[in-house]
Homo-oligomer: A and B are copies of this chain.
Amino acid sequence: MNASAILNAREHGDMTAQVEPITASGADSRREASPHILVVDDDPMVRNTVMSMLRAQGFQPQGCSSGAEALQAIEAHTPDLIVLDYTMPGMDGIELCRLLRERRATRLIPIIMITGVLGTEMAVQALESGVTDFLNKPINLAELEARVHAHLRSKFLVDQLEDLENVILAMTKAVEAKDPYTEGHSGRVAELAVRVGEAMGLDEDALRSLRLGGLLHDIGKIAIPDRILQKPDELSEEERHIVSRHAAVSQDICESIHSLTTVADIIRHHHEKMDGSGYPDGLRGDQIALPTRILTTCDIFDSLTTRRPYREPMSAPQACRALDDMARDGQLDPAVTAKVRQAVSKNGDAGSHP
């Protein structure tokens, strides 16, 4: 018997059959590149020792003998990790570190600082300037290996996190694309929420949660049959029952999230209102976390400015007025609605989506 014959196109699939073959360059760009490490030290002895130790571990480090040279090298090719001497003539390690932390492209690169005996004042100054970790002279191979490995690992994990976020974005987009009236909704809400969050001074982790919460806030819909999601009329009793039963999916997802507590909070609580009139838990005021309040407001804004089978979309200014009304009624946080207004007018947002 031939098992392949049993598997028809749908179940074992033609899904990918018509995908274009990957070009050589496409395949290359996806291959894992060796991490790029920069070694910055004016002392050729130390620099060469570190570089040959790194080479022995399979890396191909690049050496620089001054801060100025390092800045040029970084401009040309952003490194994955920098090993940096504390004492250098001209621009010293601390000064270079401060400069790199001010720039968006280099803000998060791990920097390991080479020091002699580490005095307290020097250490505090180094940490404040943005140094990630230290390596004492005389340099020990095992310590260098452990430290480089640890910090590259963090970067690798962050890259993987971004990948998984992109997978979730693609899945969300695909689900929404089946309904022209919701197409792009979660992506737009996530994007607007992050801009509002930035304007309100949220940190990097909170912004990531906001983005992910935006993508996932309507995730319960994934389990609702197309015929109900796309029905233009009022839902029947039975259909409403199916919809609410599938709330279990959101619940499932919230329960599987242990470290991203803000995301779980957003998924569960983005229908809470400041005056306690929302659901499912009737939270009020400060019981609702700021990221969740932001998401709620952005979600309503996007719904109002989107065309539905039974009504025309509002313009952005109209929607902002509606949000202000809800803030005055005590349902939304006025500090958030004000920032949403700024964000959408800055954006030159024309308002309605097709």
Contact = CB atoms under 8 A, between A and B. Distances in A.
Nearest to A221: B15
Interface string A213-237: 0001011111111110100000100
A300 B7 contact: yes
Contact of A123 (B9, B19, B142, B226): B142
Contacts of A127: 142, 145-146
Interface stretch (A36-44, A99-107, A133-141, A342-350): A133-141
A71 B347 CA distance: 57
Contacts of A247: 14-19
A59 B331 CA distance: 38
Contacts of A224: 15
A22 to B, nearest CB: 7
Contacts of A169: 256
A75 to B, nearest CB: 22
A219 B174 CA distance: 10
29 contacts: A3-B304, A3-B326, A4-B326, A6-B322, A9-B235, A9-B243, A13-B218, A15-B218, A15-B224, A15-B243, A15-B247, A16-B247, A16-B251, A16-B267, A18-B280, A19-B268, A21-B281, A120-B142, A123-B142, A132-B146, A133-B143, A136-B136, A157-B157, A170-B219, A171-B222, A171-B253, A174-B223, A174-B252, A226-B227
User: Chain B CB within 10 Å — which of A30, A124, A252, A308 has the most?
Assistant: A30
Number of copies: 2
Nearest to A31: B261
Q: Is the interface of A mostly helix, strand, loop or mixed?
A: helix
Given A16-B271, A21-B281, A133-B146, A2 B325 contact: yes
Given A3-B322, A150-B150, A17 B223 contact: no
A319 to B, nearest CB: 8
Contacts of A133: 143, 146-147, 150
A74 interface: no
Contacts of A3: 300, 304, 319, 322-323, 325-326
User: Chain B CB within 10 Å — which of A18, A182, A212 has the most?
Assistant: A18
A116 to B, nearest CB: 12
Interface of A: 1-4, 6-7, 9-22, 30-32, 118, 120, 123-124, 126-127, 131-134, 136, 140-143, 145-147, 150-151, 153-154, 156-171, 173-175, 177-178, 181-182, 212, 216, 218-227, 229, 235, 240, 243-253, 256-261, 263-264, 267-268, 271, 279-281, 299-300, 303-304, 308, 311, 319, 322-323, 325-326, 329, 331
A258 B223 contact: no
